[in-house]
Chains A and B, each alone.
Chain A
Amino acid sequence: MTAHAAGCAMVVADHATMAGLPAPALLAALLAALILTLWSLRRGAAGLEGRSATPRFDLLSVAPFRSLVSRRPFQFALQLPLVLALFLILSAGFLGSPVAERNIATVLTWTIWWTLLIVDIVLLGRTWCLVCPWDALASWMRRLAFWRRRPEEPLALELKWPRWLKNVYPATLLFVGLTWLELGFGVTRSPRATAILGLLMLMLAVVPALLFERRSFCRYGCLIGRICGLYSMLAPVEVRPRSLDVCGACRTKACFAGNGKGYPCPTGQCLPAMKVNTYCTLCTECVKSCPEENVAINVRPWGADLQSPAGPRRDEAVLALVMLSLTSFHGLTMTPAWNGALAWLRGLTGMRHLSVFSIGMAAVLVAPALAYLLFSAAAVRRARPRAEAGAFRPALALAAGRYAYPLIAVALMYHLAHNLGHLLTEAGSLVPVLSDPFGSGQDLLGTAGFAPTALAAPASIWTIQIALVLTGLVWALRATERTHRWLAKDWSIGSLPLAARVITAAFILIMTAANLWLLAQPMEMRTGM
């Protein structure tokens, strides 16, 4: 081993950062949020009556679209390019450059896909599940066919999914785990780790598909599917029966059980029972199998599922809270404030980065959930001051379950605002890596030397971000007002007192203000642009 010292030019580099909202814009946005909250409280449930019969337009009433969707190769044709992209990502991740911004694996996965995923949900619903490459590979193996409807049994043991796992907790745990890996280990900055994650997801999709009935992993375990599922309650696209009467007279239930034309619903949905989008993967098998052509793919107003008075599920409510915390956490970890806090904690405890990061993440995960429970408890106390002691817990469980769903709007709109910021600033980084996907010095399309720039001016991005976060606030506030009505009905009281409504609105306002503050922080970019 040899060592000697010599002089050389200095090397100082740092990750690129995007400026956050300017202080006046933040103040204006906070003021607007406060005014909107007061407006919603004043308006109460007015204007929410009779909104359940919102207009729908059935896309399948357009003959060419129906003809396209009804063809068996429809899904395959959409999945194939994504499967090829997955193989490109795996190859580039394992064999290509280790520099994140020069490798298509990291750029395509984290800068393009991860950001576009949320945009896609807001505009098109769960179309990601329709084209999902992991599901495609698992389904092809299970069915032993790319698109043909084979009458034979699938290549699967068809075991029952364990009863204790019939909830979205596995997906919630995987989501927390992925976030820990992504942000704690810096997976977004490592093409190799990105490829390993892609491979792991492939195993998670394929092995359960070979063991369990239907696509149980998609329904219960897939973190992306479950996040998309909850978010898609707000999406403007849904699959529903055209007529419930026709479904009532149906004896075959082909949508659920399948027939010669279509496979059984992969997530075990039965069309007449479908009230919300959460578990529909938009695979369009029911469109193919329904003998009565009674399936509609509707375009509907955004957030229509939040108008559904279906009973709350505790596992979904927990996932909604986790999503609320972790979407903000994603933003938080890119701020200097977070790095400063971690550095302070490291200095204080002497722990390593990962330990300190894990503690910080646990705190960010738990704090909003605890605050939410406290706010819910305070609202229930105000709403039911004379309720007997034993009735408080069930009332709190019901209220906490119901109030969690409107928070999906806050999470989704902040997620979208944050991701749009990344997309509009960094999407250009795809151009050079398309020419040089492995970062090996190739120039396939002549764009390897392209210097990416932002797609929009910062002022435009800030305006869009503020508008989105405030839309989420209004959405959540209005949905909460509707929830108040359902709770009043559940508890057989006329209406909830103003104090209870103020408390729930205050929590939504605080979360919105926190998200606006995050948007005002300088953000470290995913790529080194």
Chain B
Amino acid sequence: MNRRAPELRSKTRSRRAGLVRAAALFLVASGLTVSYGLAHHVLGIPHYKYGDDYPQIPYLEVIAQAGPYDLSFTHFPGFPRPGERIRLKLYVRDRETGTPYLDPLHVELFRRRFLWGSTPAGAPITIHPGVGPERNDYKFYLTFDEAEAYEIRVHFPNGDQLEVIPFPVVVGKTDDRPLIFAAAGLLAAAVVSVAAVKRRRRSLRTRARRKP
């Protein structure tokens, strides 16, 4: 019998335990990100686009599904500044028939903060669609005074349940200068540090050679 066998077994066991722990951690982390929504699906990732008026200012588009309906949410400009008036549009239509959804919708506004969750960013509003041919989407305006990530939560009745569909609005453009300066600084620091260490090594070598 191999004398190391029990050690190997315990190593394998601890490896397995580590894997189980990692899997549990992943599941807990996944659970932490569970959203409050029901059966709606935001398709793909929010993305920026130009309209027919290129090269103008881009808008943001999010496409979602809820029950038999397709939802298209856009806001213009795509990168609103604090205090700037934002035009938001929501178009909802039946996937099969193409018939637009025309009932009033309840909308809540939230501010999203990393690690702090969401807090209300204003009073809820009710939005109404336009009426008439090619005027049947929900159009409304918002102005946010603070640079922050916001969430527009649309309450959408899907059969006998109410779905809450979140759409992002980020106010204030990300400034990349700190990132670029940090990268350049890190590179410069690495070069200077390596050069300093090399010089020190060289001088130590020279000193060692001079010693009788």
Interchain CB contact under 8 A, A13 and B72: yes
Interchain CB contact under 8 A, A186 and B44: yes
Within residues 182 to 202 of chain B, which ones have a CB less than 8 A from any CB in chain A? 183, 186-187, 190-191, 194-195, 197-198
Interchain CB contact under 8 A, B174 and A192: yes
| B-side contacts of A343, CB under 8 Å | 41, 43, 65
Q: Does A61 contact B (CB under 8 A)?
A: no
Q: Which of A10, A185, A342, A358 meets B91, CB within 8 Å? A: A10
Shortest beta-carbon distance, A322 to chain B, in Å? 18
Name A442's closest neighbour in chain B (CB-CB). Answer: B55
Within residues 340 to 369 of chain A, which ones have a CB less than 8 A from any CB in chain B? 342-343, 346-347, 349-355, 358-359
Interchain CB contact under 8 A, B187 and A203: yes
Interchain CB contact under 8 A, A7 and B136: yes
How long is the Cα–Cα vector from A358 to B30 in the complex, in angstroms?
A: 9
Interchain CB contact under 8 A, A350 and B89: no
Task: Give A314-334 as 1s and 0s: 1 = Cβ < 8 Å from B's Cβ atoms.
Answer: 000000000000000000000
Shortest beta-carbon distance, B67 to chain A, in Å? 11
Q: Does B209 contact A (CB under 8 A)?
A: no
Further contacts, 6 of them, CB under 8 A, given A5-B138, A353-B42: A7-B137, A10-B72, A12-B93, A94-B180, A155-B195, A207-B187
Name B180's closest neighbour in chain A (CB-CB). Answer: A94
Shortest beta-carbon distance, A314 to chain B, in Å? 16
Given A8-B137, A185-B45, the answer on whether A210 and B194 have CB atoms closer than 8 Å is yes
Q: What are 8 sample pairs from A and B whose C-beta atoms fall under 8 A apart?
A: A1-B121, A2-B85, A5-B127, A6-B130, A10-B137, A11-B137, A192-B176, A343-B41
Q: Does A98 contact B (CB under 8 A)?
A: yes
Task: Give B61-83 as 1s and 0s: 1 = Cβ < 8 Å from A's Cβ atoms.
Answer: 10101000010101000110000
Give the interface of B toward A (CB within 8 A): 29-30, 33-39, 41-45, 47-51, 54-55, 58, 61, 63, 65, 70, 72, 74, 78-79, 85, 89, 91, 93, 100, 107, 109, 121-122, 125-132, 134-145, 174, 176, 179-180, 183, 186-187, 190-191, 194-195, 197-198
How long is the Cα–Cα vector from A522 to B174 in the complex, in angstroms?
A: 35
Shortest beta-carbon distance, A353 to chain B, in Å? 7
Question: B51, B107, B197, B198 — which one has the most chain A CB atoms within 10 A of its CB?
Answer: B198
| A-side contacts of B36, CB under 8 Å | 350
How long is the Cα–Cα vector from A474 to B190 in the complex, in angstroms?
A: 49
| B-side contacts of A157, CB under 8 Å | 194, 197-198
How long is the Cα–Cα vector from A192 to B143 in the complex, in angstroms?
A: 25
Interchain CB contact under 8 A, A351 and B194: no
How long is the Cα–Cα vector from A342 to B70 in the complex, in angstroms?
A: 16
| A-side contacts of B145, CB under 8 Å | 1
| A-side contacts of B55, CB under 8 Å | 97, 102, 436, 439-441
Give the interface of A toward B (CB within 8 A): 1-15, 94, 97-100, 102, 141, 153, 155-157, 185-186, 189, 192, 195-196, 199, 202-203, 206-207, 210-211, 339, 342-343, 346-347, 349-355, 358-359, 436, 439-441, 528
| A-side contacts of B130, CB under 8 Å | 5-8
Shortest beta-carbon distance, B117 to chain A, in Å? 13
| B-side contacts of A9, CB under 8 Å | 134-135, 137
Shortest beta-carbon distance, A120 to chain B, in Å? 28
* 3 A-B pairs with the lowest CB-CB distances in the bound complex, closest first: A7-B130, A441-B55, A7-B135
Interchain CB contact under 8 A, B190 and A5: no
| A-side contacts of B176, CB under 8 Å | 94, 192, 195
| A-side contacts of B37, CB under 8 Å | 350
| A-side contacts of B41, CB under 8 Å | 342-343, 346-347
Shortest beta-carbon distance, B198 to chain A, in Å? 7
Interchain CB contact under 8 A, A2 and B187: no
Interchain CB contact under 8 A, A102 and B54: yes
Interchain CB contact under 8 A, B30 and A351: yes
Shortest beta-carbon distance, B42 to chain A, in Å? 7
Interchain CB contact under 8 A, B44 and A11: no
How long is the Cα–Cα vector from A496 to B141 in the complex, in angstroms?
A: 73
Name A184's closest neighbour in chain B (CB-CB). Answer: B45
Interchain CB contact under 8 A, B139 and A353: no
How long is the Cα–Cα vector from A11 to B59 in the complex, in angstroms?
A: 11
How long is the Cα–Cα vector from A439 to B45 in the complex, in angstroms?
A: 21
How long is the Cα–Cα vector from A163 to B79 in the complex, in angstroms?
A: 48
Name B173's closest neighbour in chain A (CB-CB). Answer: A98
Interchain CB contact under 8 A, A11 and B63: no
Q: Which of B49, B89, B128, B186 meets A528, CB within 8 Å? A: B49
How long is the Cα–Cα vector from A339 to B63 in the complex, in angstroms?
A: 12
Shortest beta-carbon distance, A213 to chain B, in Å? 13
| B-side contacts of A210, CB under 8 Å | 190-191, 194
